Structure 1
């Protein structure tokens, strides 16, 4: 189960996206949960919203590998291209199209999490691995 941050200025669209995310077995969160310190595995973003775009750029600085899936009423722009979204779904969309895009984005999220975990383990194991020499093993 992935934690998916949904950022859409329209409450009806946000509710629809939350329902779809729940139906796929994932946990939707909003900006309130983000402010409380929760870290999403994926950002589902309506980039036509200026506050949403600003939030996405701030998140991208903090969580470099956070996959972003754009779901928008507007076509991709230069501004949205800078987000390097894993996919871009135009509204209105077919449920199956969004489900496929979500699954693709979540594969990216899992890969990013594995990379982070591997890097973290490598760093911590280097710091915690005791150094042995032949003389210390004889003692």
Structure 2
């Protein structure tokens, strides 16, 4: 119990009995800091002033449902770990596309809830293997962060480029930048490179104006760096004149 006792948990469910049952199960798991709200709209406002570690989130709610709330929270710099609680299993794929820590079917059992809390705690402590969840030919795949080279926004999608292929992501580039933190470096308004993949930052030859490029491991063509980003990029990579 000690591993999860320090978590701050918010339960969002429009059914009072469901909220109370989850509160009791959380207390049985050793969690002391527990809050409950009855709809997604209230939760969105409440979370502005009350950060939590874990959000136990019902899916079928009026006005702002659980999926819509989760999508809005993903735009934040440090969103809580999401654990969906629902009576239906057909939302599971979408839930994990939203990077959910777990997906619990009602009625929730204490053992499964404690497992979900442990997963959320592992994320909180940075123990989860970082990476991307991508869809390919109807399947969900995990692409480890170590395989990523860069992310490029094009029209409505973001393309994840790896040495072995490219994958489309549904996330906005700014949301990915916030989630990746120091792992990603912006080189252009529509492009992020992975810090671990950078081999060289160098001045390009030719042209009337000075321009810079970045060379990434396993990527044959260097990528251009915008004038707006060059100073921040050089500072991040500790590159001197």
What TM-score, normalized by structure 2, do the two folds share?
A: 0.41
1:61 aligns with 2:66: no
Structure with larger Rg: 2
Structure 1: where are the runs of 5+ without partners?
113-118, 121-139
Asked whether 1:110 is paired with 2:135, we answer no
Which of 18, 36, 44 is the matching residue for 2:56? 44
The answer to whether the Cα contact below 8 Å between 2:95 and 2:103 also exists between their aligned partners in 1 is no
Cα distance in structure 2, aligned partners of 1:107 and 1:40:
15
Shift in Å, 1:36:
6.4
Q: Compare relative contact order (CA 8 Å, sep 6+) and give the higher one, 1 or 2.
A: 1
Q: Distance in 2 between matches of 1:55 and 1:22?
A: 25
Deviation at 1:88, TM superposition (A): 0.9
The number of residue pairs the alignment matches comes to 115
Distance 1:80 1:25 in 2: 24
SS of the residue corresponding to residue 5 of structure 1 reads: strand
Deviations 1:29-57 (A, max 9, x none): 23468256001111111123353332222
Write out aligned runs for 1:70-81 (5 A). Answer: 70-77=84-91, 78-81=93-96
The 5 Å alignment of 1:1-139 reads 1-23=6-28, 24-31=30-37, 34=46, 37-49=49-61, 50-77=64-91, 78-111=93-126
> Partners in 2 of 1:25 and 1:64 — Cα distance?
21
Q: Which runs of 4+ in 1 moved over 4 A?
A: none
Q: Is the contact made by 1:42 and 1:109 (CA closer than 8 Å) also made in structure 2?
A: no
RMSD: 2.8
1:99 positional shift: 1.4
TM-score, with structure 1 as normaliser: 0.67
Distance 1:35 1:69 in 2: 16
Distance across 1 between alignment mates of 2:73 and 2:36: 13
Higher strand proportion (structure 1 or 2): 2
Provide the C-alpha distance between the structure 2 equivalents of 1:108 and 1:79, rounded to a whole number of angstroms. Answer: 19
Shift of 1:101: 1.6
Q: Distance in 1 between matches of 2:53 and 2:110?
A: 21
DSSP-derived class of the 2:108 partner:
coil
